[in-house]
Amino acid sequence: MMSRYHHVCFCTLALGKKYRSLALLLAGDLETYSPGKALVVLTDDPSHFQPCSNVLAFKHSQQGVTCYHDKRFVIQTALSHFEACIFIDADMRVVGEVPHDLTWLPGITARSGCSTLKHNQNRKARSIVEKVAHKWNLNLETVLYVNEFLFVVSKDAGKEADFLQAWDWLAPYFELNGIYSGEGSAIGLAAAKAGLDIRLDTVDRFPFFKDRIEKIRISKGDADPHTNQRYFDEQRRYEFPQLSLSEKLVAKVSKPVKRFCRLIQLRIDTLKHFSFYYK
């Protein structure tokens, strides 16, 4: 595998038809703008990506109550085949050339982030990160929060494995305490526990489209609202498909039921670690 691709890959998580379809668009972008680099995809239906010569698709079933912390399995799989991986959300687009000679220092390089304390202003979330920091003897003043939509993990003498192991502990702890989208804080805490350096990039290494980021740029007058309109339109088409009334009802009922079942299963699975997760 390493002989076919560069030592750096892109990687993403694509669970469900919506995100599989969006990931196909991303794969097409990378085939155009980053030939020779693989896109590692963890997905519930690898056959969806058979037409893509640059995609390495691996079967994955959602492990968390929500799928946010499942990103750690994407990183783990990618690093089992490559020296470094660029995690990118499946709903993002690459809209220009990716330099073929991109290199990354060992550790984590994030497109953006901030202090964990600054990010976690909510009392509940702040309490959780403080408890973890106390248990692991971490100084929260030095722990970074990583904006998880785009970041790189590069191997560092095994510290990356310690990082993933620490994230394995944190993922259920966050969810058991009702924090379902806190993977950016978990990344920072796990990296600090493992001694894995985090760096925040000051410039974008390649041009990309992220709807939330683009809207901010447009609101500030830093981007033309018409330039990337087609990317907004394509994303909207897959994120909000036309559904029949029966399909809407099934989706509305099944989503909370599945989430509740996963939460019950999580509580059962973590009872053996009672002292860590419940105290």
Report the pLDDT value the prediction gives residue 201, as an integer from 0 to 100: 87
- Buried b or exposed e, range 26-35, using 16+ CB within 10 angstroms: bbbbbbebbe
Report the pLDDT value the prediction gives residue 1, as an integer from 0 to 100: 47
The overall pTM is greater than 0.85:
yes
Report the pLDDT value the prediction gives residue 124, as an integer from 0 to 100: 87
Report the pLDDT value the prediction gives residue 255, as an integer from 0 to 100: 76
Report the pLDDT value the prediction gives residue 108, as an integer from 0 to 100: 97
Report the pLDDT value the prediction gives residue 196, as an integer from 0 to 100: 97
Report the pLDDT value the prediction gives residue 3, as an integer from 0 to 100: 46
pLDDT tens, residue order, the chain (279 aa): 444 556 999 999 999 999 999 999 999 999 999 999 999 999 999 999 999 999 999 999 999 888 899 999 999 999 999 999 999 999 999 999 999 888 899 999 999 888 888 887 788 889 999 999 999 999 999 999 999 999 999 999 999 999 999 999 999 999 988 888 879 999 999 999 999 999 998 788 999 999 888 898 898 888 888 888 988 888 888 887 776 676 667 667 777 777 777 778 777 777 655 555 555
